[in-house]
Structure formats: structure tokens, C-alpha cells
Amino acid sequence: MADKHDEPDLDDIERRMKGAIAALSTEFSGLRTGRASASLLEPVTVEAYGTQMPMAQVGTIGVPESRMLTVQVWDKGMVGAVEKAIRNANLGLNPIADGQLVRVPIPELNEERRAELAKVAHRYSEQARVAVRNVRRDGMDGLKKSEKDGHMSEDEHKMWAGEIQSLTDDMIKAIDEALATKEGEIMQV
């Protein structure tokens, strides 16, 4: 049997895969279901001071009513950039600047808009699947290298490859379940 240091770090692989699922959850929380939520604007980044900054670092996101979001921009010079970032985030929102306050009315979800949001949810899910597969590939490459370097037998390689594949399958299943749940929320009238 190979030494402990030659075994793949399954905990690390699992942690990295779960990171992809956590990122997906964050993106899903930004996909709206007809109600205003500050989490809708949190993933949006703004071109500020020559770098990309999260919305929460350039202003305060507020929810004054169920169909309205606001961003109280701290630096007057950033209002245009905040407005542009929201408009370009493909969320179907039309921000309106009012001094240093950017109002973001939340339109009613029609059938077409629901289908659009479902497509975005699918895109986010596919990105998460790709991230999980990339972690799997890294793990499999590590196994190949260990076997090639003589630190692991072919049987051990196969056993660990099975473990990594099983972990990958579980994560992909979790992503698919999260997508199904989110789609249900989006399509609910």
C-alpha cells in the first residue's frame, strides 16, 4: 500500500467541489423570483478606480419596497458606473439614477422573462459542473502522476479514481437538484 502522502487528498478535492456549489448558491440567490432582494445585486461587479469591485463596496443596497431596489452610491463619480454595471449584468433590470441614489425597479415576471431567468440558471449550473469536473481532472492527473512515479500501484490508482468519480457524481447530482429547485421557484406564478 502507498504511503499516506501518496494518497490523493479527498478532503481537499471535496472542499474545492463544494466551493463550486457554494458559488452556485450565491449566483442562484441573485436570480430573482419576482420579489426584490438585495442578494440580486450582490454578485454584480462595478468598474471602479480601475478595478472590478462588488456592488456592496461602492454603495449601500436597499430594499425600500417589494418591487424596488436602491443603491446609495457613496462616491458621486461612481453613479454612472453603478448604473452601467446593473444594466450590463443581464438581469433584465433598468436602473434610474436620482442624484447619488440609483433606483432599480423590479419588473413583473412574465413568461418570457421566466424562461430567460431559467436559461441563466442553467448557465450558472453548467459553470458549476465545469468547475467540479476541473477539480476531478486535477485529482485524476495527480493519481496518474503518482502511478507513473511509482508511488502508487495500478489497483490503488483505480480505487482512488473510483472514489474521486463517486465524489464528482454526488456533486453533479447536488448541482442538478439545486437547479431543479431554482427552476421551480422561477416558474412559480
For 130-173, the pLDDT digits (tens) are: 999 999 999 999 999 999 999 999 999 999 999 999 999 999 99
Question: What class has domain 35-105?
Answer: alpha beta
What residue type is assigned to position 145 of the chain? K
pLDDT category at 189 given cuts 50, 70, 90 is low
Find out if CATH 1.10.3720.10 is the number for domain 4-27+110-187: no
DSSP 71: E
pTM metric for this prediction: 0.66
Cell of 72: 446609495
Please give the helix or strand (H or E) that residue 69 lies within, else none: strand 68-73
Burial class (CB in 10 A: 0-12, 13-18, 19+), 51: exposed
Q: Are 117 and 186 in contact (CB under 8 A)?
A: yes
For 54-100, the pLDDT digits (tens) are: 998 999 999 898 789 999 999 999 999 999 999 988 777 899 999 99
Query: What pLDDT score does 6 carry?
Result: 67
- Domain extents for the chain? 4-27+110-187, 35-105
